[in-house]
Amino acid sequence: MHPALLLPIGLAFMLMLVGLAGAGKHTQVLELWLDRLDGPQTAAASALAPIIDCMNRVDRDTRLAYQRLVHPPMAESAPEAQTSLPAGRHARSREEFGDNSEPQARVIQNDVCAPTLTTKLAHQHPASPLIGMTAEYLASLQKISSTLGTSNQRRLFGDVLQQRIQDELSRNGEAYATVSSQLRRGLAVQDQRLRVEQRAVLEARLGQDLHWHLLNYMISARAAVDQIDDGVRTASLTPQALAKLTAAVQRANENSATFVEHIPNKNLDDEALHLWYVIRQPADAYLIALHNLLQDWLDHAPPQQLSDDYYLVTRRYDALLSYYNRPARNAF
């Protein structure tokens, strides 16, 4: 047996026993101790993982449900026409935003976004601002979820009560969108730093294997969408910068494909290889969206076309991330 596999196998066995013994704060504290045995990067990532899982699995669909109530989809519009338009104008179904095989947010919210989300983080970094931000987010999530549930039934109420529900939806929805965005930005800073450190640890331990290529690609994809988003908000993005970011994503994508091509006797039961195949289509769609934005900009397309291109880039990245997250969460 390879020595590098001894610790993960031991941890898996111990965590299985912990799972049989019970769940909750004590379980998370023990898991954090086990993660620390593997290294500070693993422990830090493990502390953030429950919060990120909540945002990925519940926050996306909750935001979409709110957008659909505030901006109902236009039934007369053709599906293809709607796919490239911002959700603020034509919000449609959750299928457009990535992996739709997850249960509805309202079904898993109490488990995935439980009050114990920050237990590991509080033990590791008691002064982390993410602890307070997460608590504020969870409180806002409860409010908007209750409001959304009532709003779905508002046609059964009279005009006065309907207006009251609409006012509550607007108030709670705006507050939720604000704290959600704040928490996402805070998590992004920490997560990006950790992913780069984890990539270095992976290379030191196992070389540039498929796990490394998958992580390297996702780091490149995330860096591109984040820098594009920042450049759009600050009006500092240039075609040259966009071309460089697009090339980096394409290079990481092609390098991973080359690595897979040279794997002898491919075993599709291998989690890393399975994950690589799962994200092929969304990865290609994301790269196409990047190229389209760049080409339209170089062709001096109208501002509205560039706006739609930019939104499609962000949507394609969200879809890529959702398809990546579930098998990665289950396998690693």
For the chain, which residues make up each domain, given as ranges? 55-190, 208-332
CA distance 215 to 207: 13
pTM for the full predicted model: 0.75
Residue 168: predicted pLDDT = 77
The residue-averaged pLDDT of 40-59 equals 86
Q: Are 61 and 74 in contact (CB under 8 A)?
A: no
Q: Are 276 and 324 in contact (CB under 8 A)?
A: no
Distance of alpha carbon 18 from its chain centroid, rounded? 28
Residue 112: predicted pLDDT = 92
CA distance 15 to 154: 45
- Report pLDDT digits (tens) over 203-230: 998 899 999 999 999 999 999 999 999 9
Task: For domain 208-332, give the fold.
Answer: Four Helix Bundle (Hemerythrin (Met), subunit A) (1.20.120)
Surface-to-core class of residue 314, CB atoms within 10 Å of its CB (0-12 exposed, 13-18 middle, 19+ buried)? middle
Surface-to-core class of residue 280, CB atoms within 10 Å of its CB (0-12 exposed, 13-18 middle, 19+ buried)? middle
Among candidates 149, 191, 195, which has minimal Cα distance to 172? 149
Residue 23: predicted pLDDT = 43
**Would you call 329 helix, strand, or coil by DSSP?**
helix
pLDDT bin (cut points 50, 70, 90) of residue 153 is low
Percent of the chain with pLDDT over 90: 46
Among candidates 283, 270, 172, which has minimal Cα distance to 217? 283
Among candidates 328, 309, 51, which has minimal Cα distance to 215? 328
Check pLDDT > 80 for residue 262: yes
The residue-averaged pLDDT of 248-272 equals 93
- Report pLDDT digits (tens) over 164-195: 767 777 788 889 999 999 999 999 888 888 88
CA distance 236 to 100: 35
The residue-averaged pLDDT of 244-267 equals 95
Least confident window among 19-28, 71-80, 88-97, 182-191: 19-28
Residues whose CB is less than 8 angstroms from the CB of residue 240 and which lie 6 or more positions away in sequence, other chains included: none
Q: Which two tokens stand for residue 131?
A: 């602890």
Q: Which residue is it, tokens 């519009």?
A: 77
Axis-axis angle for helices 239-261, 280-298 (nearest 10): 150
Q: Which two tokens stand for residue 265?
A: 């006797």
CA distance 63 to 68: 9
Q: Is the dihedral of CA 208, 212, 214, 220 positive or negative?
A: negative
Start-to-end CA distance of the chain, whole Å, equals 19
Residue 250: predicted pLDDT = 98
Enter the DSSP assignment of 55: I
